[in-house]
Structures are given as structure tokens and as C-alpha cells.
Structure 1
Amino acid sequence: MPLIGLIFAAILTKQRKYIILGITWAFLYFGVSYTQQQKAISEVLKLSEKRNVEVLYIEAKPSLANIFIWKIITTTEDKYYVDAVKIGPGKSIVWEGENINKLSIERDLPWLKEGSQQRKDIERFRWFSNGYIALDRNNPYQITDIRYSFLPQKINPLWGIELKPEADKDAHAKFYNARHNREGAVKTLWGMLLE
């Protein structure tokens, strides 16, 4: 928000100092964000050692509207681990999250025909989700993008695709948006920030 305010101030007043302040703010913000991200990754690497898992890749994203709590997705050979880390003054806090098996069409959807449109839709969704897809725990016909959720340590996806075993070979999978308790999640996230 400060950057947007400084841009408007520069446009309205036509004063160069607001441009300089805006650029300075952007560099400081991205510098602090990068430092926070690296610290969060370091904390999750320690957690991965305790879990005794071989890490293939780690992705760290800031949680909703802040750079203090980070959602960390750790990829192993067959699973995704989702954890949250709060980096602030003093000691870091790690919230051990959930894990889920990576999607395996052969294991999870043996009924899905090779060459069917739904199978092609899964591959399109895999591309869209940067590979972070899994079978929903609550619905064996839904495939979810695990990268985004209201709470950073949870695998409670915001969207996915739904398959139908009885569908024709040319039938598309259906895209869906999940409905969750957003107010409760915001309250929980706020509590995590204040912890």
C-alpha cells in the first residue's frame, strides 16, 4: 500500500522525491522479503531433517497479505509437505502442517482411460498448478492445487478439477472453487501473526 500511495503522490504533485521514496520502499520491501523467505526455508530444512525425508524442492510463499508468515511446500519423491513459518524479531515459530501423496494417475485413478479428455485435462491442470496436484482426501474424484489455501500450514485447496468416472471419452473435467470458512481462517491467521 505505501508504494501505491507514493505513486499517486508522485503523479498528483509531480515531485520527484515521491518517485525516489517509492523506489527506495520497493527495494527495502523486496530485500526484507527475500531475507525472510531464506530464513523460512532454513527452518523447514531443519524440520525435513527431523522427518528424515529427502527434499527434492522447496517453495516458499508469503501467506495472505504479509511477509512474516510463510507457507512452505517441501517436495519429496512421492509427497508434498506443507508447513508454515513465522519469521519475526526473536525466535522463529514453525507450525508443522500436513502432507499428501503426489497424484499418481495409475495408483489413484486406475479407471481413467488413456487418451480421454479428462486425462488431458489433468495434464493441463498439472501445468497450470506447476505440478503441485494431489487427489483430494475428501473426494476421490477431485484433483486439487495444493499451493494455495487460506491457512499456510494446511492442505485445504481453493480450487481444483472434478472428474466423472462415467463420463464420455470426450467429456471435460469440471473446474471448481472450494468454499471454506474464510472468516475463521482470517481469524486464525491473525492469531498466528500475533503469536
Structure 2
Amino acid sequence: MDPVTHGLIGATASQSFANKRTFRAAVLTGLASAMLADLDVFISDASDPLLNLEMHRQFTHSIFFIPFGALVATLVIWWLVKKYLTLKETYFYSLAGYATAGIMDYFTSYGVQLFWPFTDQRFSLDIISVFDPVFSLGIIILTGIAFFKRKRNYAWLAIAWMILYLSFGFFQQQKSTRIAEEIASSRGHTITKLIVKPTIANQLVWSVRYESLDTLYTYGIRLFPFSEPIIYKGETAPLLDWRDEFNNFKGTILYDDIERFSKLSDDFLIKHPDHENVIGDARYSMLPTTLSPLWGIEIDTTRPDQHIDFGTYRDASPEVRQDFMDMLFGRKIP
């Protein structure tokens, strides 16, 4: 999730059991602690562009790192709140705030290494966008009221709001999944892999991508309560058999980097349609119906012993934005 929402959720967790004496200091402690986990975005190496992607949502988001992350947060924050909190209180409020970071990212896409170091597998539920203003607004209002009134009842209402909103996302996803399976069945496709996730900043338009016989199919599905679903047929593209295509480079840094990127992309790799020599992560695009990856790696076979370049390829043109808004408000006719 975005850093602001992370901080607000951490503040909510801390204030949910704070008393009036410690209330506001607890809020600030929980807010800062929850945001601390995302400092992993600064772990990078200019010579190895994929390192930053691998480290984000890694050890700092593991459930096993929570006690240590809370300890680091305590040592940093206590000097600011020691007039209001004991060291023990600071640690427990930090623990409550920090614990929310990895868990809340688990509800989004991309994946979190929740059980690092025992496994480097990324887990995600894909039921809420990394940025959802409706979700965040409810937390802002209720957490803000709790802060000014110093009443934890409002914090519990904020938690209830989060549970309600995430539950709505879960049911929307399940409905989208059933529709996706029906679409594939009607076309005689056997689904090998399926990704169903919300598009940016909403729970109404869902992105569907499924693999069948090494081909990737995309659909957009608009689900508005008490209305019939609107299905937008998208593009298709062959998935890249990178192991075969780059077999001659096995043992090189080039091959290893493609393998690393494939793992980060859950093996949903395609050739970017608009950028030559770019392999893209096909799970993400500006529209749910297109296969123009938002990011990818540029392959230079003349430099097999150097790390690949990583780039972003977002197309936020007025036409793309208009297409998305038409889907969101149901104005686009399939």
C-alpha cells in the first residue's frame, strides 16, 4: 500500500488499545513504525537494477522480522516521545504499528515475502489496489477523529471499516474469478495460470489475465453492486519461452537476470509490443485489456556478462485515461 495509508493503519492499530494519557504519542509511534518497513525501497545497487525489486517487500515485511523491526522503530522514535511514553510502552505501540506493514501489503498485489527467511516465495491476495482513495479516506476520517477526541472507539470503527472494505474486495474478486473461468470455458481454454486483481484506485473494474497453451489472454470486468457485469475483451499475446530463446546464454549474468525477473513476475513474461528488446511483466498495464507492460528489462545480447537494464513504460496519455474512466463509470460499451 502507499506509505500514507500504511502509516494511518499503523496509527489505528496503536490507538486501538491506547489510553488517554498515551493516546496521541501512541498514534505517532504507530504511524512512524508502520512506514519504517517501506524504507527497503532505498536498498539498491546502481550496477544491479533488479536488486531493488527483489529487496522490496522482503525481510522488512516478514512476520518473523516484526519484533526486530519494532525494536528498531522504538530506538528511533523513543527520543521523540519519551516525555509521554516509557520505553516499554513505545515498544508495544511500535510493535502494533510495524506488524501491520507486511500484513496489509499481503492484501495487495506484487507479493510479500511473509515467511522470509524460511522461503522466498511471495504471497498476495490481490483484493485491493496498492492505492485506493476510498479505503484510505475512511481510515483518515476515523483515525483523525480518534486522534482529536482521544477515544479509541473510533479506532475500532476504522478497523471495522478496513474489514468491511477488504471483505467487499474479496467478494468482488471471487465473482470476477467465476466470470473469468466461465469465459475461458466458453472459449475452450484450459487455464494454466490465472490472475484476478483490481485496477488502480477502485474495487469496480477488475483485471483478468490467464494463461492457456502458452498464450496470455486479458479481460476487464466491471462489477457494480446490483448490476449486470460488463465484460471487456482484451488482447492476447504468446508468453515468452525465455529458457529456450536464451538457452545459449545459460551461465551468464544475462541469463541469470532474466531468470530473476521471471521469478519476480511469476513467469508472466512477454515481449513488449512497443519497445524492441524489452521483456515485460505482463501482469501489469495501464488498462486491464491491454498487454503493454508497465515495466520490464532491456535485453542486450552483446553484453551477456553485464546486468540488464530495468525500465518503466507507463502510458498515461489522455486516450488511455479516458478509456479507463469510461470503464470505471460503465460508459464504455463492449
Aligned residues: 193
SS of equivalent residue, structure 1 residue 55: coil
For residues 149-179 of structure 1, the C-alpha deviation after alignment (integer angstroms, 9 at most, x for no partner) is: 1111111111100011222x31111111114
1: CA distance, partners of 2:242 / 2:266: 17
For residues 106-135 of structure 1, the C-alpha deviation after alignment (integer angstroms, 9 at most, x for no partner) is: 55446x511121111101101111222112
Cα gap change, 1:184/1:12 in structure 2, threshold over 3 Å: closer, same or farther? Answer: farther
Provide the residue aligned with 1:148 in structure 2.
284
Provide the residue aligned with 1:104 in structure 2.
241
- Contact persistence 1:132–1:147 (CA under 8 A): yes
1:22 aligns with 2:158: yes
Shift of 1:75: 2.1
Whose helix fraction is larger, Structure 1's or Structure 2's? 2
Shift of 1:181: 3.1
SS of equivalent residue, structure 1 residue 83: strand
- Contact persistence 1:150–1:182 (CA under 8 A): no
SS of equivalent residue, structure 1 residue 150: coil
Provide the residue aligned with 2:201 in structure 1.
65
Question: Rg larger in 1 or in 2?
Answer: 2
Provide the residue aligned with 1:90 in structure 2.
227
SS of equivalent residue, structure 1 residue 130: coil
- Contact persistence 1:108–1:135 (CA under 8 A): no
TM-score, length-normalised on structure 1? Answer: 0.91
Gaps of 5+ in 2: 1-136
Provide the residue aligned with 1:33 in structure 2.
169
1: CA distance, partners of 2:243 / 2:165: 45
For residues 42-82 of structure 1, the C-alpha deviation after alignment (integer angstroms, 9 at most, x for no partner) is: 11111101221111232111001000000011122412212
Provide the residue aligned with 1:184 in structure 2.
319
Whose strand fraction is larger, Structure 1's or Structure 2's? 1
Cα gap change, 1:91/1:171 in structure 2, threshold over 3 Å: closer, same or farther? Answer: same
Q: Which shifted more, 66-75 or 50-59? A: 50-59
Gaps of 5+ in 1: none
Identity of aligned residues (%): 27
1:133 aligns with 2:275: no
One-letter code aligned to 1:187: Q
- Contact persistence 2:273–2:292 (CA under 8 A): no
Alignment of 1:156-195 (within 5 A): 156-167=292-303, 169-195=304-330
Provide the residue aligned with 2:187 in structure 1.
51
2: CA distance, partners of 1:23 / 1:179: 34
Provide the residue aligned with 1:119 in structure 2.
255
2: CA distance, partners of 1:158 / 1:95: 20
SS of equivalent residue, structure 1 residue 18: helix
TM-score, length-normalised on structure 2? Answer: 0.55
- Contact persistence 2:285–2:292 (CA under 8 A): yes
